[in-house]
Amino acid sequence: MNHSEHPNTAQTLSSDEVARYSRHLLLPEIGLRGQLALKSSRVLVIGAGGLGCPAALYLAAAGIGTLGIADADVVEISNLQRQILHTSQRIGQQKTDSAQEALQALNPAITVEAHTTTLSRDNALEILSNYDVILDGTDNFATRYLVNDAAGLLGKPLVYGSVFRFTGQVSVFDARRGGCYRCLYPTPPPPELVPNCAEGGVLGVLPGIIGTLQAAEALKIILGIGETLHRRLLLVDALTMQFSRLNIPHNPHCALCGKEPTITELQDYEAFCSPMQKSVLEVTAHEISAHEITAQELLRRREEFIIIDVREAHERFISSIEGSEHIPLGELAASMDTIAAFTRPVVFHCQSGKRSADALRLAMEHGISAQHLRGGITAWMQHVD
């Protein structure tokens, strides 16, 4: 989008806005016309988490006229290490409400639209269609493919970012010009190979670096200045503070932006990202929630269950369920004979439920009847202890 062609550049800036954006107005590449383009633009930030928080703050400060925030989660204390829109006083509040409060306090001149919902194939096109640029701050593959496809079908530029532990990625996708997330990752990796931040951790400042870079890309798209990361992937290593850039070739056979696209409507992305559906359904049937464990009076009848913690030793130092056994997931296969010999029901648990689901699949492959704790020790701490 070139600001010289923006349809609403006839509007003006107030005296307060001139003072607020004076450093932008001094830049020949932005100036008054560019600032008016920012004022009349609409940007949707999907996810008010580690990436969305810094991105939204800088977009609000820059004067984006309408900023949409989409998130269905509530603020938790574990978010505050990196999600800088939220505060200790707003724990338990919807993230969209917390974000809206912080962004309006920063810049009362902008409009903040809250979408307190889980993005799905049923609502994604409707929500994304109201914005000029989409910024993806999600943390799971199903939503990333959903957002990519919705943006591509709508012809919207998409600013992508992701973080894990000490590394991050940034890119810009625009299916209209050839090049989308599917060109980079045609198919999702197996779920067991992709731990999330709740499982693997993340350096708190890293989402700030990546989210701010995403905001910079969104501003360049709106202003029509500089070179964006379209068809390029920026890799950031915070441990060595090295930045590298890779070219992303356009895949002419891409299902979304190729010469003969096969994706003409949104798909079932949970199924797409979980190729072993039979295994997933079996695992779901053997889930147990913290509430259900309480109902079975596990706390008082602990001797009737064996709880196996499949996390690493350093994670148990932070928190653990009293009386639980410890067998890290990587050592579980070698311990199947021991587990099979248990005469009491087995319940696997990890931090958020992902690794314990993998442990359950492994046990089921060995003919062992077991369950896993849905939501992991995080859910246990919320509902039990």
Per-residue confidence (pLDDT) for residue 190, from 0 to 100: 59
Residues 105-160 have pLDDT tens digits of 999 999 999 999 999 999 999 999 999 999 999 988 899 999 999 999 999 999 99
Q: Which of 56, 37, 358 is nearest to 222 (CA)?
A: 37
Domain 277-383: assigned CATH number: 3.40.250.10
Q: What is the mean pLDDT of the chain?
A: 85
The pLDDT > 90 percentage for the chain reads 57
Per-residue confidence (pLDDT) for residue 382, from 0 to 100: 67
From 197, 254, 257, 273, the catalytic residue: 197
Q: For the chain, which ranges sit under pLDDT 70?
A: 1-10, 189-200, 274-304, 382-385
H or E stretch including 43? strand 42-46
From 180, 183, 257, 350, the catalytic residue: 350
The pLDDT > 70 percentage for the chain reads 85
180 belongs to the catalytic site = no
Q: Which of 290, 309, 302 is nearest to 356 (CA)?
A: 309
Q: Is the pTM of this model over 0.85?
A: no
Q: What residue ranges do the domains of the chain occupy?
A: 41-272, 277-383
> Rg of the Cα trace of the chain?
23
Residue 233 has phi, psi (to 5 degrees) of: -115, 120
Instruction: Give the separation between CA 18 and CA 311, rounded to whole angstroms.
Output: 54
Per-residue confidence (pLDDT) for residue 276, from 0 to 100: 38
Per-residue confidence (pLDDT) for residue 160, from 0 to 100: 97
Q: Which of 178, 137, 160 is nearest to 233 (CA)?
A: 160
Residues 249-300 have pLDDT tens digits of 898 989 999 999 999 999 988 877 764 333 333 334 455 655 555 434 444 4
254 belongs to the catalytic site = no
| Residues listed for the chain | 385
Domain 41-272: assigned CATH number: 3.40.50.720
For 235, the token pair is: 């890799």
Count of C-beta atoms within a 10 Å radius of residue 304: 11
Per-residue confidence (pLDDT) for residue 279, from 0 to 100: 36
H or E stretch including 163? strand 158-164
Instruction: Give the separation between CA 96 and CA 85, rounded to whole angstroms.
Output: 10
Fold match between domain 41-272 and domain 277-383: no
Query: What is the DSSP pairing of strand 111-115 with strand 133-136?
Result: unpaired
**CA 355 vs CA 32, 318, 381: distances in Å:** 53, 17, 17
